[in-house]
Amino acid sequence: MSMEGEVSSVRLTLDLWHPNCWAIEATDRTGGGVLAHAVYNSPKTDGSSQKTVKGLFTAFGDTTAEVRDLLNAIRDSEHSGELFALQERFGRARNAPGNVAREFFLEYDPDEMVCPTLLENGFVHSAPVRIRDGSEEWNLCFAGDRSGIQESLDNVREETGSEVTVTSITTADTADRSSRNQRLDTLTAAQREVFEHARGAGYYEWPRGITTRELADDLDIAKSTLLEHLRTAESKLLDP
C-alpha cells in the first residue's frame, strides 16, 4: 500500500496475536507485561544483511518476583536472543503499569516482527506497544481513507498469520485522550479498581461519603492493602 500523503485522522487500537513472538509467549505463561519502545539496527560494514536487531523494552509487574519470572521466560523463548537487563526501577519507569518495572535490551530476529507489515499496509505506530496475557495492544494511525482499513487489516492477517481485533476506532475530534486517562493506564488492575471504587463511593468528596474501613470491606481486602493501592494510584495520577 502506498504511504504517500499525510496520515489520516483515523486512529485505531488493535488487539493482536501473531506467531513466533517471544513477548506474547512469555506474557502468556507468566504475570506482568512488556512495553515495546524502540528497535535499533546495528550497521553492517561488510555489506551483509541484518540478521538481528536490538529492541528497548520495559518489563513490568506487581512484584519483583513477577518481573523476574517474566524476564526468565523471555530468556527461555526460542525466539529471543541475548537479553541485557538494565537498572531495576520501582514506580513509573517510562509510564509502565505495575509497582516494579525493569528496562532491558533484547536481540531478536527482525523477520518475526509484525511492525513492518503493519507499516506497509498503512498503519503508523503512535505509542509504545503493550504486551500482556499473550496479546499485543497497538495504538495506530491509518495512512489512507477509512474505507481501506478492512482490506489493510485482512492483508496483515494473511501476510503474518496474525489474529487481529479492532478494539477502538476514532477520528481526530474524538481520538485525543486526556492526560488523566493516560495516567489511569499506568495503574495496575487492583490499583484502578480501588481508586475507581473509592471515587464512586464518595471517598474524595467533602465530607467523605465512605471510610477506608468501609472501602476495604466493600472490596474484601485488608485496610492496609487498600491504603497501599490507593496511595500508589494517587501518586501516579498526581505526578506532574
All structural domains of the chain with their residue ranges: 19-112, 114-175, 179-238
* Cα-to-chain-centroid distance, residue 126: 12
Decide: 18 and 158 in contact? Cβ < 8 Å: no
Query: What distance in Å separates the CA atoms of residue 61 and residue 54, rounded to the nearest whole number?
Result: 22
pLDDT given at position 38: 84
The per-residue pLDDT for 93 is 52
**What is the per-residue pLDDT for 8?**
54
Predicted model pTM: 0.66
| CATH for 179-238 (2.60.120, 1.10.3470, 1.20.120, 1.10.10) | 1.10.10
Sort 167 into a burial class: Cβ within 10 Å, 0-12 / 13-18 / 19+: exposed
| Burial (CB count <10 Å: 0-12, 13-18, 19+), residue 210 | middle
Q: Select 19-112's CATH number: 3.40.50, 3.30.70, 3.40.190, 3.30.310.
A: 3.30.70
Outline where DSSP puts E strands in 99-213. 100-108, 123-125, 129-132, 135-142, 163-170
Q: What is the pLDDT of residue 48?
A: 53
Q: How confident is the model at residue 3, as a pLDDT?
A: 44
Contacts of 201 (CB under 8 A, 6+ apart): 209, 210, 214, 215, 218
Location of C-alpha cell 513490568: 60
> Which segments in the chain show pLDDT lower than 50?
1-7, 45-46, 90-92, 174-176, 240
